Structure 1
Amino acid sequence: MTYYNNDYISEIKDTIERVVIHSSTSRSKNLIIRLDFTYPEGINYPDDNNAFTKFLNSFIKNCTRKGLTPYYVWVREQSMNSIAGKHHFHLVLFLDGNIIQNPHKIYQKATELWGMTVGHSAAGLVHLCSHHLETQYINTAIQIRRNSPDFEQTLNEANKWIQYLSKSYSKEGYPHKVKRYGASQVPAIQQNAALTGPTITTGMCF
């Protein structure tokens, strides 16, 4: 059952929180990246998730082959006022920060695979989003270190940033039987591990 709480959807919020906690406590370093995906202008695509699902399967396999142990959360958005087929997707990746510290090669691979999926140049169709966490040396990824003194603070700030995906706005008007979000399967949260939030914040993407 879906519950709406003011600005966010609780089932998506809870899913995000589970993935944030599990990915950040199951390894010593966790690199978090957010990517947004749109379709080329002037081309009509089916109003389903098939293209994105095909892309995601290929992308996650690629990350797995590189030993990055990926976890993910994605949402589909399309407001009731949107033209049919103009939906878009937000994807947050959680990767092994012991192996990767910079998001740009991942961004390049995502752009390449999205272009192959939609059969069109993906230049300008994949956006690497930035954040405003002052503790991070790079503003297009969040590095969470489990043994760092600011671990809990960074974990909570990251959760608040990612919770933009749980906002209720633009998640209406879905075609029948089309999913609006998905995520890696992770264990349930222990009662004492809940995070603060959400605070809906956009960062630098849409």
Structure 2
Amino acid sequence: MGMIMQYKQVQTISLVIDALLKSYLNRHSKALIVRFDVHYPEDYPMVSGNEDISACIAYVAKKYKRQGLDPFYIWVREQLRSVHPHYHCALLLNGQKVRGYRHVFQNVEEAWGRTLGCSVSGCINYCLSDGDSDYNGKMIRRDAGPVIFDIRRNEVLHQLSYLAKAYTKELGYDGLRNFGCSRIPNT
């Protein structure tokens, strides 16, 4: 599976995205992929680690796991000039058991608010594109045939390539991990 390159990328993250998607598509004949970004409220105190995003994503993953949706996730941390980092995220869910995707945004917002202990209204970016209702919440279906399957997979890889962009990640290593993801099972 080759990554569609749009941005100068961090190779490690590109490889993880490829492996994560490949593993998920081997496990499920239908996969729903949802992108979202998570920001801190402007008046939130300074943060020095990734504990908040880790707790938020763990809460969301646990909720979907209880629903039998076999969640996989990836998040990347970025910070350029802002006081706080922000996170670009993707969630993969079993497409046999779920259709819509907007519930993901509600669950992430609830988990983020619970994690931070404050209002997080406006802190979750839904990564939607005006005029393209199919931009987010992409379903990849093996039963659509190999041509459509490859087109959809490549659309998802193109969208997820944004998570691997090097800009805002290579300004110096601050000792923190700049991404996290589900454990990829050995195949």
Alignment TM class, shorter chain as reference: 0.7 to 0.9
Quote the Cα distance in structure 1 between the aligned partners of 2:157 and 2:129: 12
2:91 to 90, 93, 96: 93
TM (norm. structure 2) is 0.87
Higher relative contact order (CA 8 A, sep 6+): 2
Quote the Cα distance in structure 2 between the aligned partners of 1:116 and 1:8: 33
Quote the Cα distance in structure 2 between the aligned partners of 1:148 and 1:187: 25
Q: Does 1:33 align with 2:30?
A: no
Quote the Cα distance in structure 2 between the aligned partners of 1:185 and 1:141: 22
The one-character-per-residue Cα deviations of 1:65-110 (angstroms, maximum 9, x if unpaired) are 111101111100012xx244x1100110110011111111121111
Instruction: State the secondary structure of the residue aligned to 1:147.
Output: helix
Q: Does 1:43 align with 2:39?
A: no
Are the counterparts in 2 of residues 18 and 187 from structure 1 also a CA contact under 8 Å? Answer: no
Q: Specify the alignment match of 1:152 in structure 2.
A: 150
Q: Does 1:143 align with 2:165?
A: no
Q: Specify the alignment match of 1:16 in structure 2.
A: 17
Are the counterparts in 2 of residues 48 and 175 from structure 1 also a CA contact under 8 Å? Answer: no
The one-character-per-residue Cα deviations of 1:45-79 (angstroms, maximum 9, x if unpaired) are 32211111111211111110111101111100012
For structure 2, which runs of at least 5 residues remain unmatched after alignment? 1-6
The one-letter code matched in structure 2 to 1:44 is: P
Are the counterparts in 2 of residues 31 and 142 from structure 1 also a CA contact under 8 Å? Answer: yes
Runs of 4 or more consecutive aligned structure 1 residues displaced over 3 Å after TM superposition: 172-176
Instruction: State the secondary structure of the residue aligned to 2:143.
Output: coil
Are the counterparts in 2 of residues 13 and 163 from structure 1 also a CA contact under 8 Å? Answer: yes
Q: CA RMSD in A?
A: 2.2
The one-character-per-residue Cα deviations of 1:171-206 (angstroms, maximum 9, x if unpaired) are 1346643110011222578xxxxxxxxxxxxxxxxx
TM (norm. structure 1) is 0.79
Instruction: State the secondary structure of the residue aligned to 2:77.
Output: strand
Are the counterparts in 2 of residues 9 and 166 from structure 1 also a CA contact under 8 Å? Answer: yes
Instruction: State the secondary structure of the residue aligned to 2:120.
Output: coil
The one-character-per-residue Cα deviations of 1:143-192 (angstroms, maximum 9, x if unpaired) are 00012121111111211111110000011346643110011222578xxx
Are the counterparts in 2 of residues 36 and 127 from structure 1 also a CA contact under 8 Å? Answer: yes
Q: Specify the alignment match of 1:53 in structure 2.
A: 54
More helix, by proportion: 2
The one-character-per-residue Cα deviations of 1:90-137 (angstroms, maximum 9, x if unpaired) are 1101100111111111211111110111121111001111369x7xx6
Deviation at 1:37, TM superposition (A): 0.3
Quote the Cα distance in structure 2 between the aligned partners of 1:64 and 1:188: 19
Query: How many percent identity over aligned positions?
Result: 29
The one-letter code matched in structure 2 to 1:69 is: D
Quote the Cα distance in structure 2 between the aligned partners of 1:46 and 1:175: 16
